[in-house]
């Protein structure tokens, strides 16, 4: 249900100038019944000037008369043709003061790990301006040397679902323009929950590459080859006969 403008001032006027119940005023103005009772007693909204809903085209006198006769009657806001189709304007995302210093780190993370995101998408996710994003991109930000990339979800600047939706939208736009995504970019499209739940890919260190095909038969063949090589001690323990022959030759 739509509420009147200056709801508390309207409640003050209705409590002072009509005999309708506190419940009816509370329902119409979006207030609590006890709050309206406090307005009537003078304990709440002290000094607030009443706002006439009839003079300001929010209520009709007939509607007020019907509410005074029937305590169960709910006041209806007067139809305003000028308000048809009017939507609430969406401004930039509000960022609490305690988290505003974290926005450059979140921007750097998005620029580094999701380059497919546009400045407008980053601006909506983090709640910043396009000049700030551009200064992070070209590293002209005054504090760029001290900024470390941090996930905006971890910083509480946006939700994981919002980040995933923005990344998928950017990927769909890129695909519609005919650009081919790399494997690295496709990997980034996986959500955080999915990536944490996935099994790690087995990798073979480059230092021992080639050992993955080593079998027991290969081991036995290598042992046989090693057995054919003479022991080092055999070169120093020569037979006695060889020593006698050499001595005879020397005497001659």
Across the range 2-12, mean pLDDT stands at: 85
Q: What is the pLDDT of residues 35-81, one digit of tens each?
A: 888 888 888 877 888 889 988 888 889 999 998 999 899 888 887 66
Answer yes or no: is pLDDT of 191 > 80: no
Of the given ranges (120-124, 159-163, 204-208), which has the lowest mean pLDDT?
Answer: 204-208
Percent of the chain with pLDDT over 70: 64
Instruction: Tell whether pTM > 0.85.
Output: no
- pLDDT of amino acid 178: 66
- pLDDT of amino acid 235: 55
Sign of CA dihedral 165, 166, 172, 175: negative
């Amino acid at each position: 249900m739509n509420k009147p403008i200056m709801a508390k001032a309207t409640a003050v006027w209705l409590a002072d100038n009509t005999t309708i119940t506190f419940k009816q005023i509370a329902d119409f103005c979006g207030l609590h019944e006890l709050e309206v009772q406090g307005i009537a007693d003078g304990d709440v909204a002290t000094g607030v000037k009443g706002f006439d809903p009839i003079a300001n085209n929010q209520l009709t006198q007939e509607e007020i008369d019907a509410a005074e006769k029937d305590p169960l009657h709910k006041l209806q806001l007067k139809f305003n043709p000028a308000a048809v189709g009017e939507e609430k304007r969406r401004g930039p995302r509000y960022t609490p003061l305690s988290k505003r210093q974290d926005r450059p780190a979140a921007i750097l993370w998005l620029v580094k790990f999701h380059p497919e995101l546009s400045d407008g998408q980053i601006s909506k996710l983090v709640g910043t301006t396009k000049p700030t994003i551009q200064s992070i991109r070209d590293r002209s930000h005054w504090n760029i040397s001290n900024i470390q990339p941090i996930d905006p979800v971890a910083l509480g600047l946006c939700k994981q679902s919002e980040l995933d939706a923005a990344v998928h939208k950017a990927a769909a736009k890129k695909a519609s323009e005919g650009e081919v995504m790399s494997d690295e970019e496709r990997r980034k499209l996986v959500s955080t929950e999915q990536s944490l739940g996935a099994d790690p890919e087995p990798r073979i260190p480059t230092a021992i590459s080639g050992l993955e095909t080593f079998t027991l038969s290969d081991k036995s063949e290598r042992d046989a080859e090693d057995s054919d090589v003479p022991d080092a001690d055999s070169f120093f323990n020569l037979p006695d006969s060889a020593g006698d022959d050499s001595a005879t030759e020397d005497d001659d």
